[in-house]
């Protein structure tokens, strides 16, 4: 039987199976505060049957939001709303819940995806100044970033620390640092976005310097009793971009400062990149990272669309866990159904047990 349905230990956190809900922005917050939409959405994710649900990219500061509707966790109002969201969810479901924290860098200040296609906000729609490794915009029509200075770095590190502290306080079980997809920390890692000529640009060692400073700061404030991971790009899908081998080295640096997982995604630094988004397209990147980080949990993600594909990733040792995004949005019972298909057993919440596949086999509806 596939190991996917077996419990797994991510650092200090035990999860009941090896399927994770990937973080997905919902563009439904007001002033960064989670509201009624998040209550029902998190309920769906928590009851999905996944071993861990990671909440969407949540900004460490107002300027760090991707869009004006993204979640944030930098002030007391947001903290109180997250605390009540988690406590309501915990009242009916014990699935561990993680949060992804990040800063959108030069890709901040956009509209929600379904408003104007997620393009940069205009000044009259409330655009705000953005930050980047240099003053080069992400792409034509995107805002010119303010090139980050040493004092900006100090402030950013403290924003990440503040957010991580609050995430612990409100009761998240796990935290994922967003160092992927061309957002702030990813843009420092990528030679495409980071053309600095100081000690933060150039060699991989230099490009990793600021992201690792943030990673260490987050590690220092996030308790050792809770799981901590990072999402990183295995590739920029671009000739001059980050490579899987470089990602593996960044992963080793994170492992060395006690990060429990490495979640391998790709893309987002080069607007012209041709991404070959086929079934399980990012798994080779996860394999490379795993081969150099054998003792750290590696999560594979990206168009893992059915039970067979998910089980294969785990059973072939390509990665330790699989994360699934859109399939769960489409069908919040995807993890339940996948585990049932692979094991013949379905572990539904009590309220839904009478819908179980096992029951259906015994008696027709
Ligand atoms: C609506 C949507 C929102 C997303 N938001 C985030 C996010 O907040 N953070 C992140 O790292 N990735 C985000 N992603 C990427 C997903 O986590 C995932 O890596 C990607 O969708 C590929 O997995 P899938 O094929 O299973 O959907 C998002 C994807 C979608 C579809």
Bridge partners of residue 146, in order along the sequence = 131
Atom 13 of ligand 1: nearest residue by CA position: 24
Catalytic entry in 8, 27, 92, 183: 183
Phi, psi (deg, nearest 5) at residue 197: -110, 10
In this prediction, residue 355 carries a pLDDT of: 86
Find the mean pLDDT for residues 302-311.
95
Q: Is 303 in the pocket of ligand 1 (CB under 6 A)?
A: yes
327 CB within 6 A, ligand 1: yes
The reported pTM is: 0.97
At 99, which helix (H) or strand (E)? strand 97-102
The confidence score (pLDDT) of residue 358 equals: 65
Q: Given a cut of 60, is residue 364 above it in pLDDT?
A: no
Q: What token pair was written down for 158?
A: 């403290």
Number of H helices, E strands in the chain: 11, 13
State whether residue 111 is helix, strand or coil: coil
- Res. 345 pLDDT band, cuts 50 70 90: confident
Catalytic site residue 183?
Answer: yes
Any ligand 1 atom below 6 A from CB of 23: yes
Rounded distance, CA 139 to CA 134, Å? 13
**Helical (H) or strand (E) element with 177:** strand 174-179
Distance 326 CA to ligand 1 centre (A): 7
Residues 6+ apart with CB under 8 A from 126: 68
Q: Following DSSP, what letter does each residue of 289-343 receive, concatenated? A: HHHH-TTSEEEEES---SHHHHHHHHHTTS-SEEEE-HHHHH-TTHHHHHHHHHH
The protein residue with its alpha carbon nearest to ligand 1, atom 14, reads: 24
Please state, in angstroms and as integers, the Cα–Cα distance from residue 102 to each residue in 110, 164, 190, following that order: 15, 10, 16
Q: Could you give the C-alpha distances from 44 to 80, 228, 318, in angstroms and in order?
A: 21, 23, 28
Residue 363 has pLDDT above 60, yes or no: no
Evaluate if residue 344 carries a pLDDT over 80. yes
Q: For residues 73-93, give the mean pLDDT.
A: 98
3-state secondary structure of 193: coil
> How far, in Å, from the CA of 359 to the mean position of ligand 1?
33
pLDDT of residue 206: 98
Q: What is the pLDDT of residues 254-296, one digit of tens each?
A: 999 999 999 999 999 999 998 888 888 899 999 999 999 999 9
Res 307: pLDDT: 95
- List, as one string, the DSSP characters of 340-356: HHHHS-----GGGGGG-
Q: Each residue of 115-160: pLDDT tens digit?
A: 988 999 999 999 999 999 999 999 999 999 999 999 999 999 999 9
Quote the ligand 1 centre to 143 CA distance (angstroms): 24
Protein fold of 8-330: TIM Barrel (3.20.20)
Substitution site in 20, 21, 22 for ligand 1 pocket (most atoms within 8 Å of beta carbon) = 22
Report the pLDDT averaged over residues 33-47: 98
Structure tokens at 276: 């070959």
Residues 316-327 have a mean pLDDT of 96
Is pLDDT larger for residue 62 or for residue 354? 62
Per the prediction, the chain carries an average pLDDT of: 96
Q: Where are the domains of the chain?
A: 8-330
Q: Ligand 1: which of 19, 21, 25, 26 to mutate, most ligand atoms within 8 Å of CB?
A: 25
Residue range 69-73: mean pLDDT, rounded: 98
């Amino acid at each position: 039987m596939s190991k996917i349905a077996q419990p797994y230990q991510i650092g200090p956190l035990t999860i009941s199976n090896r399927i994770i809900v990937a973080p997905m922005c919902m563009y439904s917050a007001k002033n960064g505060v989670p509201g009624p939409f998040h209550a029902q959405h998190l309920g769906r994710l928590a009851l999905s049957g996944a071993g861990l649900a990671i909440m969407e990219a949540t900004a460490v500061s107002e300027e760090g939001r991707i869009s004006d509707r993204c979640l944030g966790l930098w002030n007391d109002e947001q903290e109180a709303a997250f605390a009540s969201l988690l406590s309501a969810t915990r009242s009916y479901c014990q699935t561990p819940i993680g949060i992804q924290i990040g800063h959108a860098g030069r890709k901040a200040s956009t509209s929600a995806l379904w408003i104007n296609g997620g393009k940069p906000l205009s000044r009259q729609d409330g655009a705000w100044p953005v930050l980047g490794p240099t003053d080069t915009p992400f792409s034509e029509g995107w805002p010119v970033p303010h090139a980050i200075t040493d004092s900006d770095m100090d402030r950013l590190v403290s924003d990440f620390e503040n957010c991580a502290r609050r995430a612990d306080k409100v009761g998240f079980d796990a935290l994922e640092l967003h160092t992927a997809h061309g957002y702030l920390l990813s843009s420092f890692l990528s030679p495409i976005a980071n053309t600095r000529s100081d000690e933060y640009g150039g060699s991989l060692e230099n490009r990793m310097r600021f992201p690792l400073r943030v990673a260490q700061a987050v590690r220092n404030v996030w308790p050792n009793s809770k799981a901590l991971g990072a999402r990183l790009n295995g590739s920029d899908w671009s000739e001059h971009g980050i490579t899987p081998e470089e990602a593996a080295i960044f992963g080793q640096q994170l492992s060395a400062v006690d990060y429990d997982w490495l979640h391998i995604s790709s893309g987002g630094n080069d607007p012209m990149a041709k991404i070959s988004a086929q079934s399980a397209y990012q798994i080779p990147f996860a394999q490379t990272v795993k081969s150099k980080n054998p003792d750290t949990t590696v999560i594979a993600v990206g168009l893992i669309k059915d039970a067979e594909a998910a089980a294969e990733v785990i059973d072939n040792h390509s990665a330790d866990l699989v994360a699934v995004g859109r399939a769960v949005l489409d069908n919040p019972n995807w993890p339940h159904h996948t585990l049932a298909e692979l094991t013949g057993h379905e572990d539904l919440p009590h309220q839904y047990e009478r819908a179980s596949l096992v029951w259906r086999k015994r008696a027709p509806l």
